[in-house]
Amino acid sequence: MSTSPTISFIGAGNMASAIIGGMLDSGFQAADIWVSAPDDNHLQSIRKQFGVSVTTDNRYCAEQADMVVLAVKPQVMADVCRDIAPVVQNTRPLMVSIAAGLEAATLDEWLGGGLPLVRVMPNTPSLVGKGAAGLYANDQVKDKQKTMVESVFSSIGSALWVDEESLLHAVTALSGSGPAYFFLMLEALEEAATDAGIAGETARALAIQTMAGAAEMAGRSEHDPGQLKRNVMSPGGTTEQAIQTFEEGGLRDLVKKAYSAAYKRSGEMSKELANKQ
């Protein structure tokens, strides 16, 4: 593997574009990036935006790479993998899938077997450079390749490894679905504030900034969330009353139930997807 590895993206959707943009901002060179997709018009816009090389030929794109990022929808992944299998069996690149639900063994089988493969579960804040991705590597992946994957996905947020592939379902329920949980909280806070008389735009701006500030504090602090919560609370004060209401209303149990539902559904969807291929 060269000092500056060539990275090819099979698929040119929003997530691929976000990753490429983050890579370039982090110091990767456009000359080391290839992208393939069936729509040449879209590819030309990608080329103009990022300065990367593009092609409609998936096999040619994969042939250029030290690392191939499979960024297509799960429903077409089998056809894409089987198409490029003869090429990657010859060149032996690191394969990286960002498709939810498709297990490493299944992907490796479609690719001809025996390849180093990493599964990544990114989330939608990756589109604004604030993502949280869970990563799993099969036994063929070397430490140098793990470092390369980390450098790519750290360019759009944080990238953390899990030791067992099954834990990606837990990651899906946490950071994959998680943004929607916080959007629900924002929605509820905005509604409550507008009911109290604050203008809608003002309520939304205050709620968003409050959430962003709290997240920043949690990320920088040496304290756990429980202590940070207590730091905001004064005996008999407003925050204490609100937190007590949340606790009495069963918020913790509700969050656990919601998380468990997402976790269970992730596993079900993985099985459904495998049965359709």
Residues 41 and 87 both lie in one domain:
yes
Per the annotation, binding residues for NADPH are: 58
Q: Check pLDDT > 70 for residue 193.
A: yes
Specify if 95 maps to a domain: yes
CA of residue 11 relative to chain centroid, distance: 15
Q: Are the C-beta atoms of residues 97 and 78 closer than 8 Å to each other?
A: no
Q: Give me the CATH number covering residue 86.
A: 3.40.50.720
In 3-state terms, what secondary structure has residue 196?
Answer: coil
Structure tokens at 132: 């949280």
Q: What is the CATH number of the domain that holds 195?
A: 1.10.3730.10
Distances (CA, A) of 125 to 15, 112, 131, 158, 177: 10, 33, 5, 11, 11
Q: What is the mean pLDDT of the chain?
A: 96
* Total count of domains within the chain: 2
| Domain match, 132 and 259 both | no
27 inside domain: yes
Whether residue 270 is contained in a domain is answered as no
pTM as predicted:
0.91
| Model pLDDT for residues 142-185, shown as the tens digit of each residue | 999 999 999 999 999 999 999 999 999 999 999 999 999 999 99
Query: For 23-39, how does the pLDDT look when each residue is reduced to its tens digit (9 = 90+)?
Result: 999 999 999 999 999 99
User: Does 25 fall in a domain?
Assistant: yes
pLDDT in tens, 36-92: 999 999 999 999 999 999 999 999 999 999 999 999 999 999 999 999 999 999 999
Residues 21 and 154 in one domain: yes
Q: Do 154 and 240 belong to one domain?
A: no
149 shares its domain with 39: yes
Encode pLDDT of 118-133 as tens digits: 999 999 999 999 999 9
Annotated binding site for NADP(+): 10-15, 71-74
* Same domain assignment for residues 195 and 143: no
Last residue of a domain, one of 111, 134, 162: 162
| Distance (Å) of CA 106 to CA 27, 52, 91, 193, 275 | 33, 30, 20, 49, 11
Residues in binding site: 10-15, 58, 71-74
Range of the domain at 32: 7-162
Q: Would 61 be classed as within a structural domain?
A: yes
pLDDT classification of 1: cutoffs 50, 70, 90 = very low
**So what's the pLDDT on residue 273?**
83
Residue 169 lies in a domain: no
Is there a single domain that holds both residue 235 and residue 134?
no
